[in-house]
Structure 1
Amino acid sequence: MQQRSTTITILADNCAAPGLKTEHGLSFFIEKEDITILFDTACDNTLLYNAGALGVDLSQTELLVLSHGHYDHTGGVAEVLFLAPNANIYLHPAAFQERYSIRNGTAKPTSMPDHARSAIINLPQQQIHRVSKPTMLCSGIGITGPIPRLTSYENPGGPFFLDTTGKQPDPIDDDLSLWIESENGLIIVTGCCHAGLINTIRSIVEHTGEKRIAALIGGFHLSAASTERLEKTVKELKEYDIRQIVPCHCTGKNATEYLAQFLGCPVEAGYAGLKLEFQNPPQV
């Protein structure tokens, strides 16, 4: 039987192809056989424009997955649910928390916008799936739920707090990632990887038993990573059979160049408008 493919289209990112908008945010449209998944919804004003320009019909979204509750991944939720009111949404309960980043003594809200929170809460309860453990969305696609923080050198990646005074660090426990089975191993899709890229990979590999990785795609939150962290990350990544890496969003230019320099697989910076295609596993 002829194999069918999985396609992943980057709808929003910090970089974009000519004619598309950019912003500090991330969104992927995933199509696999008979299922359509929107993974994150970016920030403010790029998602609908870029989707239209790319011919992606967001009203066809069946599953909406939120990697975590930060505004730059949830800003378009209300617009998506207006277009696709019957979509099922998957997120960790902590995604609704009030949270902040604090730099130079100034607290900046990083929470999910109120309009996004209201759009979710007002859905029929059967459409809201609060994820607290690894969960299969459909055959061959799963999400991690909370990821164990086991490495000593990985951290949430920034000055994140649950209060405006900086007394309550935010571990961003709601961080989750998605995996897709393909002919050449797992496609791992991340939002910001606040749990750490290596922690994320370890968790997914342990859960699935699949050690081959067809692609790592998403934000890795390495923009402020120390040289030591980058060195240890590369050392760990070399332990896996990785075919392709597509860093996006919060990975950072320096980290992307570092990965490209020291890893043996292709490393291509992602951008809005990039479309990736993978062969699905043979049907039994």
Structure 2
Amino acid sequence: MSTRMTVLIDDTSSKSGLLHEHGFSCALKLPNGEKWLWDTGSTDKFLQNAKTLGFQPSEFKALALSHGHYDHTGGIVPLYKAGFTGPMYAHPEYCRDRYHVEEGKESRFIGLPPFTELDPMPKVHRVQGIHQLAPGMRMVTDIPRIKGNAQNINNFYVDPQGTTVDPVPDDSCLLLDTASGTVLLLGCCHSGMANVLTYVQEQAGVTKLHALVGGTHLLEASEEELDQAAKALTSLSVERVFPGHCSGQHGLAGLAKRLGDKVQGIGAGWSHHF
């Protein structure tokens, strides 16, 4: 049995008739038949796409969060209102205050939306380290930041004044053991590509990566940062790379320049069996 991934929302659309927005959400159908959600985008648009693609909120067993930024959590309240009753899995720091602060611009709150409209409140399982969520699926959190490796936390702070940097400690990813091989599903990769891949290699025993899917946060990466990301992927003999969301056209083109036809962009409606 294969593992099926379907992107419900992304910054672009891969199929006509689907909505897009700045955000990411992916539906997973595991070999045992369970359906899981990975993130919820910025708004309820992912639910509209899900309906178009044949998914119902009530059929998902659980929701796992890559981190607490609004473009991955903004659809949580609409999801529960639409009939989803499962628990959430997230790093303990997913609900911290967080702001985007940039010189010359007004600071913006970019954290988790309030759950005050929900009754009962969602059940949340706090995940740290590497934790098995389902057969063949592990959530990877607490990714160490190695000196010299790029990480993607520019302009992120825990206060609107921009005095305390937010290193996005809740940044997480999913490791899936599929019929095709090991697949890594990202949210935004704020920890940095080299740091994530080093961690899954050293702590999760990954020696070869069939595919990487999701946001790489390489949309404004330097040539050196793109080189580092490509080198890290090559070190695990990656076969396919499917960048989306915060990868941007710059990141997509940069990876394709270095890795060739292994790289293929994704958008809302993209679906693949692994």
TM-score by length of 1: 0.90
Q: Is the 2:7–2:267 contact (alpha carbons within 8 Å) kept by the matching residues of 1?
A: yes
Moved more, 187-196 or 96-105: 96-105
Question: Who is 1:46 aligned against?
Answer: 45
Confirm or deny that 1:189 pairs with 2:188. Answer: no
Q: Is the 2:182–2:211 contact (alpha carbons within 8 Å) kept by the matching residues of 1?
A: yes
1:213 Cα deviation from its structure 2 partner = 1.0
Per-residue CA deviations over 1:165-199 (Å, capped at 9, x if unaligned) read 11100000011000100233211000001011121
1:156 Cα deviation from its structure 2 partner = 2.4
Per-residue CA deviations over 1:183-224 (Å, capped at 9, x if unaligned) read 332110000010111211221222332312111001011112
Confirm or deny that 1:5 pairs with 2:35. Answer: no
Moved more, 38-47 or 258-267: 258-267
C-alpha separation in 2, matches of 1:91 and 1:118? 20
Per-residue CA deviations over 1:208-261 (Å, capped at 9, x if unaligned) read 323121110010111121111111222222212111111010012111111111
User: Which segments of 5 or more consecutive residues in structure 2 lack a partner in the other structure?
Assistant: none
Question: Who is 1:108 aligned against?
Answer: 108
C-alpha separation in 2, matches of 1:118 and 1:202? 40
AA partner of residue 68 (structure 2):
G
Q: Alignment partner of 1:236: what SS?
A: helix
1:263 Cα deviation from its structure 2 partner = 0.9
AA partner of residue 259 (structure 1):
L
Q: Is the 2:44–2:78 contact (alpha carbons within 8 Å) kept by the matching residues of 1?
A: no
Q: 1:215 to 1:54 in 2, by over 3 A?
A: same
Q: Is the 1:160–1:169 contact (alpha carbons within 8 Å) kept by the matching residues of 2?
A: yes
AA partner of residue 207 (structure 1):
Q
Q: 1:206 to 1:84 in 2, by over 3 A?
A: farther
TM-score by length of 2: 0.94
Percent identical pairs in the alignment equals 32
Confirm or deny that 1:59 pairs with 2:55. Answer: no
Question: Who is 2:17 aligned against?
Answer: 19
Confirm or deny that 1:241 pairs with 2:237. Answer: yes
C-alpha separation in 2, matches of 1:144 and 1:45? 26
C-alpha separation in 2, matches of 1:179 and 1:77? 22
Q: 1:183 to 1:207 in 2, by over 3 A?
A: farther
C-alpha separation in 1, matches of 2:120 and 2:228? 41
| Aligned structure 1 segments of 4 or more residues deviating by more than 4 angstroms | 117-121
Question: Who is 1:282 aligned against?
Answer: none
Question: Who is 1:281 aligned against?
Answer: none
Query: In angstroms, what is the RMSD of aligned CA positions?
Result: 1.7
Matching of residues 73-152 of structure 1 within 5 Å: 73-105=72-104, 106-115=106-115, 119=118, 122-123=121-122, 127-152=123-148
Q: Is the 1:60–1:84 contact (alpha carbons within 8 Å) kept by the matching residues of 2?
A: no
Q: Is the 2:25–2:38 contact (alpha carbons within 8 Å) kept by the matching residues of 1?
A: yes
Q: 1:208 to 1:184 in 2, by over 3 A?
A: farther
Q: 1:120 to 1:91 in 2, by over 3 A?
A: farther
1:264 Cα deviation from its structure 2 partner = 4.5
